[in-house]
Amino acid sequence: MPTFKELGLRAEIVQALDDLGFENPTPIQEKAIPQVLDSKTDLIALAQTGTGKTAAFSLPVLQQLDDTSNDIQCIVLCPTRELCLQITNDIQDFAKYMNVNTVAVYGGASIETQIRAIKRGAQIIIGTPGRTVDLINRRVLRLQTVNYVVLDEADEMLTMGFQDDLETILAETPQEKQTLLFSATMPTAIKNITKSYMNNPVEVAVGGRNEGSKNVEHHYYLVNARDKYECLKRLADMNPNVYGIVFCRTRRETQEIANKLVQDGYNADALHGDLSQAQRDTVMGRFRNHQLQLLVATDVAARGLDVDELTHVINYNLPDEDEVYIHRSGRTGRAGNKGISIAIIHGREKGKLRDIERKLKKEFILQQVPTGQEICEKQLYAIVSRLSKMEVNEKQIAPFLPQIMQQIGHLDKEDLIKRLVSFEFNKFLEYYKNARDLNANDRGSRDRNDRPERGERRDREDRGNRGDRGERGEHSDRGPRGRKYDDADRFTRFHINIGKRDGVNPATLMGFVNEQLRKRDVEIGKIEVLNTFSFFELDSAYAQKMLQEARNAEHNGKPISLTEAKSTGPMPSGRKTKDKLKDRFKKDRPGSSGKRHGSKPPSGKRKRRPF
């Protein structure tokens, strides 16, 4: 394997790479750098995320820049702000000993600041398509002197709908230039761009075209649609040191899953387009610093998140495009590490999985959802491992030792170990006691419980909001069809005076119940969140305690009014007009007269993961 010096790079660049600890190029760098240095031919480079593509295009460009001129000589286009900043930082590191100015241009930041930086002079512009077009239209960004155009993550830019912007930008560049296109996949839309804006490009590739990383294993778990979230929790519990991304389709689903995980005691947070830039930066910073174990994200929000140590990528839902799965899975198994990409699917998604297999040229391995016993065993040994590796600060604990020894000094070594392990471990034993089997049968036919869960049904709404249709509630924990009502008296139904307008969702209500009762294993039935109020069902054994504890409770400064709802029967089905809905809930309120209305019976047990 050659060194960077042997590739012909100038001494200043080699010195900067030495400072970064880089000596030998990656496969894509070894193929792309000489090609760009030795010819002016356009280049198509196919390689997975995390293979060193930034250096593959920036090092030969830096080698050939005229650093005595302030003209813009190179423009790098990429899909997201995060990737734009990452590329900018990398180029600045590579050009540490050169007189090269770079400017990053992207949305969500002051355009006036970026304009001033461009006017001061820059040889390299790194930008997102939308902001780049804005600057061209303002006649601030002039690309007539550009010698190099780099399209990084080209397939993702097209997936995100930037084709018109790319064509606008490329039309502003001179005919005589070198275009370098880097991509993980080669969809049809890229082929169209290469025909229109590239001149007989040379293609280099690491691995087969559209193939996934060889360091990644692909697993799938087949469950009923309603069990996806429970499966996700078991996978997290089975992997105590998990450090991964959970991919969801929509922003709403992303936030809901993150809320549930946090409520259930997991170290997780959400990343999606509804967050402000400051919020996104905070979440991404915490994740990069390993302060979060699970990042629940949409595909767009996760672009540019450069983390090499991910152990898992979990597909809570399969993406619409096969190429997107390749991008997702490529976020683990980087920098020589091994990784696992997981798909949690139900029976109707098996055909989609086979399509991805053909694209990946890899087979997904069917795994069994871990049982409660397997999880408990794994967690026990993880606790023992943490205890054995724990560093003891003798000086810090010395003042407390006399009192501690007075209380537990009579215990022998074996008894102390048992108690110490049980203190941490008993919650898992209790939570997974009598845990049911989540594995769905691997039939070719559709299981009757394989109905899309709420997040999937909302995909259309997320893509094009059609507005609220009256006071339609958010339902959680819907049980299987045909449930009998014999055990309905096990639950008490409550009315509470907060709803969606107060920022309430099912996870919020579950947290409220746990907070008031100071217990995390209370059985909660059906939850309905409406605009100004909500209903939820609770194990009747805790009904009186719940009423008593909630008397002086507040939610965001609003006093809570909690009363027992009288109706417990099944809710009428079918669409309701707004007036009928109002009438139904008016009759359903405590103290109202008229025919009793209620909800569907409570679903099966909804156990909570203890802290």
- pLDDT tens string 144-167: 999 999 999 887 788 777 888 998
Q: Give the C-alpha separation, 218 to 594, whole Å.
A: 57
- β-strands 74-77, 124-127 pairing: parallel
Q: Which of 79-88, 331-340, 424-433, 505-514 has the highest mean pLDDT?
A: 79-88
Residue 17 CB neighbour total at 10 angstroms: 22
Mean pLDDT of 333-344: 86
Residue 342 within any structural domain of the chain = yes
Burial of 475 (0-12, 13-18, 19+ CB in 10 A): middle
pLDDT above 70 (res 204) = yes
Specify the higher pLDDT residue, 486 or 207.
Answer: 207
Q: Give the residue among 506, 597, 444, 592 at the shortest CA–CA distance from 263.
A: 506
Residue 446 within any structural domain of the chain = no
Question: What is the structure's pLDDT at 441?
Answer: 74
Strand ranges (DSSP E) for 303-431?
Answer: 312-315, 339-345, 365-367
- Residue 40 and residue 185 in one domain: yes
Specify the higher pLDDT residue, 412 or 224.
Answer: 224
- Residue 394 and residue 496 in one domain: no
- Residue 303 and residue 275 in one domain: yes
Residue 600 within any structural domain of the chain = no
Instruction: Count the alpha carbons within 13 Å of 256 in the hemisphere toward its beta carbon.
Output: 18
Q: What does the block give as tokens for 73?
A: 């000589």
The 10s digit of each residue's pLDDT in 239-253 is 988 999 999 988 899
Residue 488 within any structural domain of the chain = yes
Radius of gyration of the chain (CA): 29
- Residue 224 and residue 328 in one domain: yes
Given 172, 205, 238, which residue is the final one in a domain? Answer: 205
Strand ranges (DSSP E) for 260-321?
Answer: 268-271, 294-297, 312-315
Specify the higher pLDDT residue, 195 or 396.
Answer: 396
**CB-based contact 223:436 (threshold 8 Å):** no
Token pair 């050169």: residue? 98
pLDDT band at 223 (very low <50, low <70, confident <90, very high): very high
Residue 459 within any structural domain of the chain = no
What residues pair up with 296 in beta bridges, in sequence order? 246, 270
pLDDT above 90 (res 422) = no
Question: What is the structure's pLDDT at 206?
Answer: 79
**CB-based contact 187:44 (threshold 8 Å):** no
- Residue 302 and residue 383 in one domain: no
- Residue 377 and residue 491 in one domain: no
Cβ partners under 8 Å of residue 449, min gap 6: 224, 225, 226, 440, 480
Lowest mean pLDDT among 59-73, 216-230, 325-339, 451-465: 451-465
pLDDT band at 489 (very low <50, low <70, confident <90, very high): low
Specify the higher pLDDT residue, 145 or 281.
Answer: 145
pLDDT above 50 (res 587) = no
- β-strands 178-183, 102-105 pairing: unpaired
Give the N- to C-terminal CA distance of the chain in Å, as an integer: 51
Specify the higher pLDDT residue, 25 or 465.
Answer: 25
pLDDT above 70 (res 581) = no
- Domain span holding position 294: 216-369
Quote the percentage of the chain above a pLDDT of 70.
81
pLDDT above 60 (res 446) = no
Q: Give the residue among 50, 53, 35 at the shortest CA–CA distance from 91.
A: 53
**CB-based contact 150:57 (threshold 8 Å):** yes
Residue 42 within any structural domain of the chain = yes
pLDDT above 70 (res 26) = yes
Helices 27-38, 53-64: axis angle to 10 degrees equals 20
Question: What is the structure's pLDDT at 463?
Answer: 38
Q: Give the residue among 507, 486, 496, 490 at the shortest CA–CA distance from 536.
A: 496
**For the domain that residue 162 is a member of, what is the CATH number?**
3.40.50.300
Given 178, 205, 232, which residue is the final one in a domain? Answer: 205
Tally of domains within the chain: 4
- Residue 365 and residue 380 in one domain: no
Given 369, 394, 415, which residue is the final one in a domain? Answer: 369
Question: What is the structure's pLDDT at 335?
Answer: 67
- β-strands 178-183, 43-46 pairing: parallel
- Residue 35 and residue 182 in one domain: yes
∠530-531-534 over CA atoms, to 5°?
40
Helices 11-20, 53-64: axis angle to 10 degrees equals 150
Average pLDDT, the chain: 80
Q: Give the C-alpha separation, 318 to 355, whole Å.
A: 11
pLDDT above 50 (res 458) = no
pTM here is 0.56
pLDDT above 70 (res 560) = yes
Q: What does the block give as tokens for 404?
A: 């501690």
**For the domain that residue 583 is a member of, what is the CATH number?**
3.30.70.330
Helices 163-172, 188-197: axis angle to 10 degrees equals 10
The Cα-based distances of 423 to 289, 332, 383, 390, 420 in angstroms read: 29, 34, 10, 16, 5
**CB-based contact 170:177 (threshold 8 Å):** no
The 10s digit of each residue's pLDDT in 341-383 is 999 999 888 889 999 998 888 899 999 999 988 888 888 888 7
- Residue 407 and residue 363 in one domain: no
Lowest mean pLDDT among 117-121, 411-415, 497-501, 559-563: 411-415
Specify the higher pLDDT residue, 354 or 205.
Answer: 354
Q: Give the residue among 588, 605, 587 at the shortest CA–CA distance from 490.
A: 605
Question: What is the structure's pLDDT at 448?
Answer: 43
pLDDT above 70 (res 574) = no
- β-strands 102-105, 124-127 pairing: parallel
- Residue 42 and residue 160 in one domain: yes
pLDDT above 60 (res 420) = yes
HEC secondary structure over 278-289: HHHHHHHHHHHC
Residue 174 within any structural domain of the chain = yes
pLDDT above 60 (res 95) = yes
- Residue 43 and residue 175 in one domain: yes
Q: Give the C-alpha separation, 173 to 196, whole Å.
A: 13
- Residue 157 and residue 290 in one domain: no
Residue 445 within any structural domain of the chain = no
Token pair 């690491």: residue? 206
| Residue 487 DSSP symbol | T
pLDDT above 80 (res 125) = yes
Cβ partners under 8 Å of residue 316, min gap 6: 228, 232, 246, 247, 248, 253, 257, 296, 344, 455
